[in-house]
Chain A
Amino acid sequence: MKITDEMIDYIGILARLQLDESEKESAKNEMEKIINYMDVLNEVDTTGIEAMSHAFPVKNVFREDEVRPSVDRELITLNAPKKKDGCFQVPKTVE
């Protein structure tokens, strides 16, 4: 598969990553190499094989519906680059 400029730009939007022109060029080449290498998987016959997201069949892990104290909000926003009135502060969202 060919990784095009459009694809790199689209992936950049999805991942919220901005690459400069030279980074973009090398990312394109490397990704193309890697993705093409990954195509080797097409050699494996996987008909009838379930996609396995968990290696072991653990299931039904639950927690009871019991309230425990939340965390002091000073701690929640402790590491925030910008905060105000106990909230995280971000540039104005359009809506």
Chain B
Amino acid sequence: MDWMNMSALEVGKKIKAKEIGVEEVTKAALDRIAEKDKDVNAFITVCADEAMAQAKKVQKGIDEGTLTSPLAGVPMAVKDNMCTKGILTTCASKILTGFKPFYSSTAVNRLEEAGAVILGKLNMDEFAMGSTSETSFYGPVVNPWGTQRSPGGSSGGSAAAVAAGEAFYTLGSDTGGSIRQPASFCGVTGLKPTYGSVSRYGLIAYASSLDQIGPLGKNVEDVAEVLSIISGHDPKDSTSVAAGAIQTQLTGDIKGKRIGIPKEYFGDGLQADVKERVLAAAKKLEEMGAIVEEFSMPETDYAIPAYYIIACAEASSNLSRFDGVKYGYAAPEYKDLTDLYYKSRSQGFGMEVKRRIMIGAFVLSSGYYDAYYKKALQVKAVIKQSFDRAFGKFDCILSPTAPTTALKLGESLSDPLKMYLGDIYTVSVNLAGLPSLVVPCGFDKEGLPVGLQLTGQAFTESQLLNIGYAFQQATDYHLHLPETKKEA
């Protein structure tokens, strides 16, 4: 049988039972990448040698009993905006050409300590700015479900690699939906944890107050297991919450759970069969004992403008450090210091990144701060209050993840505003810092996956994961892979 179609925990179990060796499974994963990634382009860097060396080390740790994590020895991959010591880290941007950090992000460190084998670094939208993974300097990622389709973004490589069976699980990052929307488009499970649950140390910032690292995998159990490794307080990140790792009891019992459906999320612009699948999922949960009720969140319309103002403002500041002096790309010719800055940045950043930096510089500039940036922070507070009110009544909010299924490649590049509007269902969650889980809930009429978004009150990952688990126990959408689907 093809191991690569197994879940991460299943492989972990087989490794533990000595049915498979770590080096063997790592080799299998590398072979799979070699076979598949020509088409998918999920990887920017494959570190085969490092992975094989790590596999050997991990096998030894497992044999000696020092590595006991259920995921020890399971090959995985990391979005290329997380620093990995000695391994090229690019943010899919030309401006980070050749950048090899001498430190690793906390999330990566924790996984390595638990015995993860890192296969490589995953493609993404440049600096995580985009919803299609097409703005990468290293070329677009292709959705394994359809060669003409985008996998979503910005963690398109992270979702596509899982869907294509190139890695058993991956890390992504979510600033405005960047884990959830690609998870939805690629038919995999993805979690955006509560802001502060997973350390941002070593994550190259797009928008610091919104960025959050999270896992993507084939099912809720895998995602929950990864979360238990990467979450928990990190003294290197001042915004990381003073709490231990999140351990989840997956019981599958959701009787009496109150689930709210915001009616504004089901209005115009939502693809009909997406709406149908999501509401069918709600029905399913109701059958399993949950109490499902419609409610209103009228602030939804304001989330996108508030999100883009805040994200662009922070990005304009965060990305100022890329200037051709300390690391990465430097323009080959320049006449003075200022010219070096202008040329390196203008040649090093792609158009979408430049656009967001400029919007950010504008909304913070003298005379506009109050009207845009400050106003956006106030609207953020309004949106947070609106969620707080909802969670007074509900345990979880159920919605679609995106208005459509996977878009055709190239479709949204021509109109940035249209692309921004596609983030309608995901960005509020980042503004309010909440946890949100996406699980596959069916297919549209073209056979493309649809993702169900479940959002909870802060720090209720366990409950969310349990609801997602219950859903996956009762359905088999998450078991479909692009290939098996095609065969079926």
Q: Do chains A and B touch in the complex (CB under 8 A)?
A: yes
> Residue A15 contacts which of B100, B316, B334, B420 (CB distance < 8 angstroms)?
B316
A48's nearest neighbour on chain B, judged by CB, is: B378
A82 close to B330 (CB less than 8 A): yes
Q: Does B351 contact A (CB under 8 A)?
A: yes
A90 close to B377 (CB less than 8 A): no
Contact residues, A57-86 vs B (CB, 8 A): 58, 61, 63, 71, 75, 78-82
CA distance A52 to B383 in the complex (A): 10
B325 close to A51 (CB less than 8 A): no
A80 close to B326 (CB less than 8 A): yes
A93's nearest neighbour on chain B, judged by CB, is: B337
Contact of A78 with B102 at beta-carbon distance under 8 Å, contacts A34-B416, A41-B305 already known: yes
- In the complex, what's the smallest C-beta–C-beta distance from B432 to chain A, in angstroms? 6
> Residue A91 contacts which of B302, B334, B355 (CB distance < 8 angstroms)?
B334
CA distance A45 to B488 in the complex (A): 53
In the complex, which residues of chain B have a beta carbon less than 8 angstroms from the beta carbon of A80?
325-327
B337 close to A17 (CB less than 8 A): no
- In the complex, what's the smallest C-beta–C-beta distance from A67 to chain B, in angstroms? 16
B323-356 vs A, CB cutoff 8 Å, 1 = contact: the mask equals 1111111100011111111110110010100110
B338's nearest neighbour on chain A, judged by CB, is: A16
A1-30 vs B, CB cutoff 8 Å, 1 = contact: the mask equals 000000110111011111100010001001
- In the complex, what's the smallest C-beta–C-beta distance from B367 to chain A, in angstroms? 11
A44 close to B302 (CB less than 8 A): yes
- Chain B contact surface mostly: helix
A-B contact count (CB 8 A): 161
A50 close to B361 (CB less than 8 A): no
> Residue A27 contacts which of B100, B235, B343, B355 (CB distance < 8 angstroms)?
B355
Q: Does B379 contact A (CB under 8 A)?
A: yes
In the complex, which residues of chain A have a beta carbon less than 8 angstroms from the beta carbon of B241?
56, 58
Contact of A55 with B432 at beta-carbon distance under 8 Å, contacts A75-B102, A81-B324 already known: yes
A38's nearest neighbour on chain B, judged by CB, is: B305
CA distance A22 to B4 in the complex (A): 47
In the complex, which residues of chain B have a beta carbon less than 8 angstroms from the beta carbon of A35?
359, 362
Contact of A33 with B417 at beta-carbon distance under 8 Å, contacts A40-B301, A44-B382, A46-B379 already known: yes
CA distance A57 to B136 in the complex (A): 35
B417 close to A49 (CB less than 8 A): no
Q: Does B171 contact A (CB under 8 A)?
A: no
CA distance A63 to B235 in the complex (A): 8
A55's nearest neighbour on chain B, judged by CB, is: B433
CA distance A55 to B359 in the complex (A): 23
Q: Does B43 contact A (CB under 8 A)?
A: no
CA distance A44 to B360 in the complex (A): 21
In the complex, which residues of chain B have a beta carbon less than 8 angstroms from the beta carbon of A38?
305, 308-309, 363, 372
In the complex, which residues of chain A have a beta carbon less than 8 angstroms from the beta carbon of B326?
79-80, 88
- Chain A CB within 10 Å, residue with most, of B302, B340, B358: B358
Q: Does B357 contact A (CB under 8 A)?
A: yes
B377's nearest neighbour on chain A, judged by CB, is: A51
B96's nearest neighbour on chain A, judged by CB, is: A79
Q: Does B431 contact A (CB under 8 A)?
A: yes
> Residue A52 contacts which of B305, B339, B380 (CB distance < 8 angstroms)?
B380
In the complex, which residues of chain A have a beta carbon less than 8 angstroms from the beta carbon of B327?
79-81
In the complex, which residues of chain B have a beta carbon less than 8 angstroms from the beta carbon of A90?
325, 337, 340
- In the complex, what's the smallest C-beta–C-beta distance from B205 to chain A, in angstroms? 15
Q: Does B121 contact A (CB under 8 A)?
A: no
CA distance A14 to B317 in the complex (A): 11
In the complex, which residues of chain B have a beta carbon less than 8 angstroms from the beta carbon of A37?
305, 417
A56 close to B349 (CB less than 8 A): no
> Residue A17 contacts which of B195, B330, B354, B417 (CB distance < 8 angstroms)?
B354
- In the complex, what's the smallest C-beta–C-beta distance from A77 to chain B, in angstroms? 8
A–B pairs, 30, beta carbons within 8 Å? A10-B365, A16-B320, A16-B323, A17-B349, A18-B343, A18-B346, A27-B358, A31-B362, A35-B362, A38-B305, A38-B308, A38-B309, A40-B305, A41-B302, A44-B375, A44-B382, A46-B382, A49-B378, A51-B381, A52-B381, A55-B431, A58-B239, A61-B239, A78-B102, A79-B98, A79-B100, A79-B326, A81-B325, A81-B329, A88-B325
Q: Which residues from chain B sit less than 8 Å from chain A, CB to CB? A: 98-100, 102, 195-196, 209, 235, 238-239, 241, 299, 301-302, 305-306, 308-309, 316, 320, 323-330, 334-343, 345-346, 349, 351, 354-355, 357-363, 365, 372, 374-382, 384, 416-417, 420, 431-433, 458
Q: A15-B360, A16-B345 are in contact. List 14 more A-B contacts (CB 8 A).
A: A15-B320, A18-B342, A30-B416, A34-B417, A41-B309, A41-B372, A50-B378, A50-B381, A61-B238, A79-B327, A88-B326, A90-B337, A90-B340, A91-B339
